């Protein structure tokens, strides 16, 4: 059922693609050139559409590559630090339960560090964007006078976002590709397997459809807000398993 839902969504994405790229359906007077002047003819708008870097399905290979990199780094991290984390567990005696808890703890620590890195990357690209919401602007940084959430989806569907923002968005999607693969092939099948698969598949559908229909600006803000919370959520799950009482 989950995959039927995903197929249905991607059929809708295809429909949006065909509609988005049909210049005839747009009022060219509502579009603005890079120099800030209004588009003066439909042929000029057609030229802008032709030069635009449209999102494509093959771009999603960036997410697959990112998933492989994240999985490799996570595996190395867990193997290198396992012994140190094991020594910090609350359980004093060596036992299978202690090993299991140490494994869960270091996984949560790895997740916390990943979300910290992804949040830093998101902060960098958002602060350089023209649509960063006022509430997310950092004190002390200089912004363009007209920057803010009012620029979101400017010139839609030919939205002018940076390649760095595209790369960060697709790379963070790679983490969820990895978690889906882990859930299918590596993790022990628990009672909540179907619920977790639904969670992962819906996340990937939202990520990919957001990218493919050029709603990346909204998508990356949603991801950014979620990643902030996950830094602390996973760190707390790691800390409660350790003997660091101050935490």
pTM: 0.84
Residue 227 vs residues 77, 173, 190, 233: alpha-carbon distances, Å: 20, 12, 25, 10
Nearest to 60 by CA among 153, 171, 194: 171
**Does the pLDDT value for residue 19 go beyond 60?**
no
Place of tokens 């020594």: 87
pLDDT digits (tens, 9 = 90+) for 176-200: 999 988 888 876 677 777 888 888 8
Q: 217 vs 150, which has greater pLDDT?
A: 217
In this prediction, residue 71 has a pLDDT band, given cuts at 50, 70 and 90, of very high
Residue with tokens 């969820």: 176
Q: Cα separation of 79 and 199, whole Å?
A: 28
User: Residue 118: CB partners within 8 Å, gap ≥ 6?
Assistant: 168, 171, 172, 175, 223, 227
Band of the pLDDT at 37, cuts 50, 70, 90?
Answer: confident
Q: Is the peptide bond before 136 cis (omega within 30 degrees of 0)?
A: no
Q: How far is CA 178 from the centre of its chain?
A: 12
Q: What is the pLDDT of residue 195?
A: 81
What DSSP element (H or E) covers 185? helix 163-185
User: What percent of the chain is helix, strand and coil (3-state, nearest 5)?
Assistant: 70, 0, 30
CA distance 78 to 39: 54
Residue pointed to by tokens 């609350």: 90
Give the single-character DSSP code of 187: S
**pLDDT tens digits, one per residue of 73-117:** 999 988 888 888 878 777 667 777 777 888 888 888 899 999 999
């Amino acid at each position: 059922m989950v995959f039927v839902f995903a197929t249905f969504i991607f059929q809708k994405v295809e429909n949006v693609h065909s509609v988005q790229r049909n210049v005839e359906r747009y009022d060219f007077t509502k579009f603005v050139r890079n120099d800030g002047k209004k588009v003066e003819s439909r042929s000029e708008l057609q030229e802008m559409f032709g030069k635009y870097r449209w999102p494509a399905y093959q771009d999603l290979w960036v997410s697959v590559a990112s998933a492989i990199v994240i999985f490799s780094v996570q595996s190395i991290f867990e193997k290198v630090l396992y012994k140190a984390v094991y020594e910090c567990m609350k359980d004093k005696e060596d036992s299978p339960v202690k090993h299991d808890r140490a494994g869960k703890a270091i996984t949560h620590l790895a997740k916390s560090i990943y979300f910290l890195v992804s949040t830093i990357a998101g902060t960098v690209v958002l602060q350089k964007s023209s649509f960063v919401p006022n509430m997310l602007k950092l004190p002390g940084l200089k912004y363009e006078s007209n920057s803010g959430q009012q620029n979101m989806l400017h010139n839609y569907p030919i939205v002018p976002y940076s390649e760095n923002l595209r790369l960060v968005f697709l790379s963070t999607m790679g983490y969820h590709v990895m978690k889906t693969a882990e859930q299918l092939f590596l993790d022990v099948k628990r009672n909540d397997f179907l619920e977790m698969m639904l969670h992962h598949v819906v996340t990937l559908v939202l990520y990919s459809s957001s990218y493919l229909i050029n709603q990346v600006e909204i998508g990356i803000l949603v991801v950014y807000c979620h990643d902030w919370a996950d830094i602390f959520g996973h760190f707390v799950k790691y800390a409660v398993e350790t003997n660091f009482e101050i935490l």
